Structure 1
């Protein structure tokens, strides 16, 4: 009986060991294949997604023992919901991204994020090709290391239809806020929506506020909000919210902006029903595709207008800077393969192809773009971006509270319905105060 019991205990113990081994090597399949899960924003039918998928196919050909599970989401809300689920369950993908930089500390401390410094240093032909500023963005205060690999950059500016502008009697793009207000009135006079913006897609209202905030208070002020040196209820911050409401009150986005999404307003812009749209280089492919718009030669790009009384912030700009991040729990072959795929997706060869075939910019300094293969508007975006004296993505990127993305955007959108700037500011500040 004792012998039987001992055997039973040995079997149970062996099963527990196997289970523990399976938990630590969760991506190693029974048939010996290694599973690599991806959760990026590279989804949809764009050319850059096609290139991304081509690189993955190339990797799979090199490594038939790898299974790629790509769970990438193009829609921001769907992506955020999937990431939240993965974080809550502790089943993070191999390659993913977390929005913002100030809130990365908890993920660094728990080992969920891999420090990329050793990887960058051991392969200088790859690591030294990234622009210094782009890498520095993912060096988190109070922590040593680099916790993201930049995979997209570029100015988020104002794309405008020169033909529509001329029809409205606007000879050049407005450089200042006062000139912008004048242009808005002229576009309204010809029954054209001045700025294509759908507040139902909350990021659009958020991006508008970001642009105004950086031109009014500067990118350093966003960092002060994150460090709590500034409050959302402080006068200069409320003023930025008031400027958003001023535009809405003068029908700069049309009368029904609160109920429209980004796809509808983008279509309106492509069809010449709107004079301007605030967006990033990810939409350049739409602006240069004659099957999507007849205004391919007429759509231009400019920086968001600055405030005459704030000339020191003229070149404080919103730019897109998106990363690939790597699961810090990876080991062995799984880690080796994941790093190899990451390098293939962000190599100088990949960067050149992304730029020349899809107008998509990876921030590397070791590529020479054949200008005959890219559009003038893409080159103009690069030129304008190179003059930025201060760079930031969203204001909430510097806030340690993960909930601030939704809170800030939803409160800004509330001003498109019935809230005052003061009420919006108080709602955002309450989110911070309640978290203490």
Structure 2
């Protein structure tokens, strides 16, 4: 009996030590190596994921006393579930990411996020060459410091097949909403899906609504939803959901959009079954690769059309801004090694390789990109992104309620299967109201 009690106590002690996390002792393997755990979205077989893995291998080769455990997840739901589990158990990775800024306040106050300002200042060659706007995104009102290092940026816009548009009698990409709806009708006439949308991966429906929202109300309105100055049931906000319904009624996405994956949507676009797709620069490598699509020379990029009556929001855009964040509990050699790896992943040298080999943009001002090694599509993304007068990621990124990611996206998807915009708006607002 005593032996059993001893085993139970040992297991309990091990559990407590694991839950504390963040100290050098807790991160050591049995063989004495320092363990650095990563949880990012850099996973899979993409070129950018391979570059990321190469840098990790290079880092491990430099340090025989370190082992890197990469638990990164390419699938958004799998990533979110893993991060939630780590947060709940108190076993945060060394390097991870929290998308959006609304909840950073809570993480900063609990010491879960490292203030990167001292590190940025101590190494000016590395730290002073991130673009100002990208760093500012991770500076939180009420707290001094910078709580994330931007590792990806770029315009999320409309990639379109110029060849298919011309076949439908559309000689220029639709600049306004009325132009877009007219183009949808013409594309239906040549038996092509106007806009590829795989809403089974709910983020695609969310990105569609984000584009509409920012062009109708501007990026500042998303912040007002987060501070509760606006409600989802306010007429202008409901109107943004009605525009989703309008496109759906025009059969802009095909009959089965709610049930297909994002991979299928991308494949349909690459194969010329769909004329447009709303996505970010992470797909440029596929769009410009002749082995992926016969339309590589025909694929172009534009901003999402603006509303005729709202020209003031023409350049209010959705852009991807993704971070690496560092566990605020790290100490000693574990902290030292973690920071070194972070710098290697976001250096000017790494940024050059990501850009030239993967068309993947780290927001640094000191990247010596060889234009002959990148596509015109990639360069055009950079040029268009530089014209944005307002920038935001997802609308829910400004909301302090963690459940809003799933709630907003699922409610938007409901519109694609016959739900009413007012009901979707009420469903989202109810989620907020019941949390008070």
Residue matched to 1:72: 72
Residue matched to 1:235: 235
CA distance in 2, matches of 1:67, 1:61: 10
Asked if 1:121 corresponds to 2:121, the answer is: yes
**Residue 29 of structure 1, CA deviation:** 2.4
Residue matched to 1:50: 50
Q: Secondary structure at the match of 1:118?
A: helix
CA distance in 1, matches of 2:404, 2:144: 25
- 1:124-273 equivalent positions in 2, closer than 5 A: 124-273=124-273
Q: Deviations over 1:374-404 (max 9, x none)?
A: 0000000000000000000000010111111
CA distance in 2, matches of 1:200, 1:33: 42
- 1:340-355 equivalent positions in 2, closer than 5 A: 340-355=340-355
Using the size of structure 2 for normalisation, the TM-score is: 0.95
Residue matched to 1:82: 82
Q: Deviations over 1:187-227 (max 9, x none)?
A: 00000000000111100000000000000000000000001
Q: Secondary structure at the match of 1:102?
A: coil
**Residue 31 of structure 1, CA deviation:** 2.4
Query: Quick one: structure 1 residues 247 and 334, their matched pair in 2 at CA, closer, same or farther if it must change by over 3 Å?
Result: same
Structure 1: stretches of 5+ with no match in the other structure: 1-11
CA RMSD of aligned residues (A): 1.5
Residue matched to 1:384: 384
CA distance in 1, matches of 2:143, 2:405: 23
**Residue 145 of structure 1, CA deviation:** 1.1
CA distance in 2, matches of 1:16, 1:321: 40
Q: Deviations over 1:149-204 (max 9, x none)?
A: 00000000000001111111110100000000111000000000000001111000
Q: Secondary structure at the match of 1:171?
A: coil
Larger Rg: 1
For these two proteins, the number of residue pairs brought into alignment is: 422
Q: Note if contact 2:97-2:323 (Cα within 8 Å) is conserved in structure 1.
A: yes
Using the size of structure 1 for normalisation, the TM-score is: 0.95
Residue matched to 2:368: 368
Residue matched to 2:320: 320
Residue matched to 1:4: none
CA distance in 2, matches of 1:300, 1:370: 21
**Residue 32 of structure 1, CA deviation:** 2.0
Structure 2: stretches of 5+ with no match in the other structure: 1-8
Residue matched to 2:433: 433
CA distance in 2, matches of 1:262, 1:345: 27
Residue matched to 1:8: none
Query: Quick one: structure 1 residues 20 and 252, their matched pair in 2 at CA, closer, same or farther if it must change by over 3 Å?
Result: closer
Asked if 1:31 corresponds to 2:31, the answer is: yes
Q: Note if contact 2:17-2:26 (Cα within 8 Å) is conserved in structure 1.
A: no
**Residue 20 of structure 1, CA deviation:** 6.1
